[in-house]
Amino acid sequence: MRLDENVNWLPLISATRGRPRDGIRPSDAIFSRAQLFPPAHNNSAYLRLTVMQDDREHIIILPFDDFRLAERFNSELVDLVGQTLETLGAVEID
């Protein structure tokens, strides 16, 4: 499974206000943090990714039906802090 083939990067939450038309550019957005949340209250597990672009913080939520798969992606992402979102999208888990 590859993130860039299985994730819709479009639904983003901007933690700092910017122009509504400002979008995220995967080649410029720098990954700064990942937090893994286990399934709870009948919801899927999810990874909360934080990326910075143009001095703005963006939050990306990646839901996972399989918590073990989410754990595996999370462990891979820890080593990629400081890389671009484009690099993150190329992460592959067997």
Per-residue pLDDT of the chain (94 residues; tens, 9 = 90+): 677 665 555 434 444 555 545 677 888 889 999 999 999 998 889 999 999 998 888 888 888 888 999 999 999 998 999 999 888 888 888 7
Range(s) of the domain holding residue 26: 3-89
Q: Where are the beta strands (DSSP E) in the chain?
A: 12-14, 30-37, 45-53, 56-64
Q: Evaluate whether residue 76 is within a structural domain.
A: yes
Cα–Cα distance for residue pair 43/17, rounded to 1 Å: 28
> Which residue shows structure tokens 């499974």?
1
pTM above 0.75, yes or no: yes
What order do you get walking across the sheet with 56-64 strand by strand?
12-14, 56-64, 45-53, 30-37
For residue 50, what are the β-bridge partners? 33, 59
Check residue 13 and give its pLDDT.
45
Q: Evaluate whether residue 94 is within a structural domain.
A: no
Q: How many structural domains comprise the chain? A: 1
Check residue 67 and give its pLDDT.
92
Check residue 17 and give its pLDDT.
53
Q: Evaluate whether residue 26 is within a structural domain.
A: yes
